[in-house]
Structure 1
Amino acid sequence: MNAEDFFNQGLMKAQKGNHQGAVEDLTEAIRIFPKYAGAYLNRANSRIVLHDHQGAIADFDQVLQINPKIAEAYMGRGTARAYAGDKQGALEDFNQALQLKPKSPAVYVQRGTIRAELRDCRGSIGRL
């Protein structure tokens, strides 16, 4: 099998809720093709579901090294950072995601939630 085969197999496993299997297949895709941003991105998302937030953050870091203009990587890393307790880092990532996708309601919701948790009530009332 090639990297694309492992990638597709990993996506199918994730869609069926087998996130551990997805991580294994996506890891194999990355082993074959180390600059596979999509594999890192999807592995990170499965790692969030598995509560491996540090592993997810490392994967999102890899995505951003490959291509720093992937808003979904900032969004995902912000989510992982928030779960890991790094609210300020999460806020920075959500702000960066908004630089790339300024009309993304999901990012505004996440950023507003983090601002509220940081007791920034005025900042948590954002606009779309």
Structure 2
Amino acid sequence: MSKVLNALYTLLLSSSLLASPAYSAGSGSYHSNSSTSAEKLYNQGVALMMDKKFSKAEKKFRSAIKKDTSLAEAHNNLAYTLRKQGSKNYKSALTHYNKAINLNPKLPEPYMYRGVLYVQMGDKQRALADHQTLVDMRSPLAAELEYVVKNGREKTPDQFFGVSDKL
């Protein structure tokens, strides 16, 4: 999917036209030179994530990353599924958000979701730094992260913002 379509998709999701349960899930769509096998595993992970089957989705994202280590979106979605499985996974989730950002610094979703994680970890200053990055990127996700920073919690009912489409 082109960057323009990806941006449009993120905008639609941010306006809740495509909102569905489970807040702060994954990345925007991404076409890579990855093998069909990695894409298939990634897409299976997205479907499981959307169904809130986080442990099963985690396994799919890990398998996709083994096939193609350059999938920033897979690292982002893996981090999300880890975060949703509890605080014992926060350190690992942070590692994968950072990896996603290192692989694709122009991808706004990992900044959003890492900011949410920082709020959950009690680190408001780092969350604000990620918010500023989103503002600088002119991402509609900046408003979503701002809400989390101001309120110390995610919106209810849970929503997807910038959820990835299938590859």
TM-score range, shorter chain: 0.7 to 0.9
Q: Following TM superposition, by how much is the alpha carbon of 1:62 offset from its aligned partner in structure 2, in angstroms? A: 0.6
Aligned residues between the structures: 114
**Residues 80-108 of structure 1, C-alpha deviations (whole Å, 9 max, x = no match):** 11112222111111111121125443133
- Higher helix proportion, which one? 1
For 2:66, the aligned partner's letter is: R
Q: Does 1:2 align with 2:19?
A: no
Unaligned runs of at least 5 residues, structure 2: 1-35, 153-167
Q: Alignment partner of 1:2: what SS? A: helix
For 2:146, the aligned partner's letter is: Y
TM-score (norm 1): 0.80
Q: Does the Cα contact within 8 Å between 1:71 and 1:101 map onto a contact in 2?
A: no
Match of 1:109 in 2: 147
**Residues 33-52 of structure 1, C-alpha deviations (whole Å, 9 max, x = no match):** 00111111111111121122
Q: Does the Cα contact within 8 Å between 2:101 and 2:110 map onto a contact in 1?
A: yes
For 2:145, the aligned partner's letter is: V
Q: Alignment partner of 1:76: what SS? A: helix
Q: Does the Cα contact within 8 Å between 1:13 and 1:22 map onto a contact in 2?
A: yes
Match of 1:50 in 2: 85
Match of 1:36 among 44, 48, 71: 71
- Report % sequence identity: 25
Q: Which has the higher contact order (CA 8 A, sep 6+)?
A: 2
Change (3 A) 1:98 1:110: farther
**Residues 20-79 of structure 1, C-alpha deviations (whole Å, 9 max, x = no match):** 110111000001100111111111111121122222211110111111111111111111
Matches within 5 A, 1:90-105: 90-101=127-138, 103-104=140-141, 105=143
Change (3 A) 1:25 1:96: same
CA distance in 1, matches of 2:139, 2:59: 34
Q: Following TM superposition, by how much is the alpha carbon of 1:113 offset from its aligned partner in structure 2, in angstroms? A: 3.4
Match of 1:24 among 59, 78, 97: 59
For 1:81, the aligned partner's letter is: Y
Q: What do you get for the CA RMSD once the two structures are aligned?
A: 1.7
Q: Does 1:76 align with 2:76?
A: no
Q: Which runs of 4+ in 1 moved over 4 A?
A: none
